[in-house]
Amino acid sequence: MKKIVVLISGRGSNLRAVVEANIADVEIVAVISNRPDAQGLVWAQQQGLRTHIVEHQNYVNRCDFDVALMQLIDRYQPDLVLLAGFMRILSAEFCVHYANRLVNIHPSLLPAFPGLHTHQRALKSGCRVAGCTIHFVTPELDCGPIIAQGVVPILDEDTPESLAQRVLSVEHQLLPQAVHDFVSGKFSIDGNRVIRHSKIAVDKNICLLN
């Protein structure tokens, strides 16, 4: 059984997608949020999951917050730490501590549009497609090895909100599959590339690295 700690900051819809996928040999041992009002915490508690709050505003600096967060996570000795809508930039020390077992989902087709406001930037740039990326987290922001990417078309009438909603629906499909592949050992890391050991069938809107 692989143990997973999930970090959230808001609604926790990607957390819900992972839980409802009922992935074999996976136990979500804790859900942690930096925001006490995160709606995802309520849902997690309703599912009987253990929840914690480490409020970043209670710490003088990012380093102190990250240390407190690491100490809590390490109590669970997780095989995977999953950033599922966790809206904090983590320190290099944090990323190194969980190297090759810290995974994030980002709402753009990296390396395009790292950081915030991804959908607005994609529309402003005239892109014809958008999407999401699941990647390992490294000290350099949104630059870690890419596990999988999902693509949606950008429509002429799109707004940042409508585009975000369609990308989110792909995230909900892509993230559980990536978690399954991680715990099943279906890929490895070679430098900044993820090498997949077996091909799998996926939804036509999702592109997985092979």
Q: What is the pLDDT of residue 209?
A: 39
Domain extent listing, the chain: 1-98, 106-210
Q: Which of 4, 51, 46 is nearest to 29 (CA)?
A: 4
Task: Write the pLDDT tens digit of every residue in 72-117.
Answer: 999 999 999 999 999 999 999 999 999 999 999 999 999 999 999 9
Structural fold of domain 1-98? Rossmann fold (3.40.50)
Structural fold of domain 106-210? Rossmann fold (3.40.50)
Rounded Cα gap, residues 3 and 69, in angstroms: 17
Task: Write the pLDDT tens digit of every residue in 5-59.
Answer: 999 999 999 999 999 999 999 999 999 999 999 999 999 999 999 999 999 999 9
Beta partners for 111? none
How many CA atoms are closer than 13 Å to the CA of 12, on its beta-carbon side?
Answer: 26
Q: Which of 12, 34, 31, 3 is nearest to 179 (CA)?
A: 3
Give me Rg for the CA atoms of the chain.
17
Active-site residue, 106 included = yes
Same fold, 1-98 and 106-210: yes
Rounded Cα gap, residues 176 and 202, in angstroms: 12
Q: Which helix (DSSP H) or strand (DSSP E) does residue 130 occupy? A: strand 129-136
Rounded Cα gap, residues 153 and 161, in angstroms: 14
Q: What is the pLDDT of residue 197?
A: 84
Task: Write the pLDDT tens digit of every residue in 124-135.
Answer: 999 999 999 999
- For helices 39-46 and 13-20, give the axis angle rounded to 10 degrees: 20
Catalytic residue selected from 56, 106, 119, 172: 106
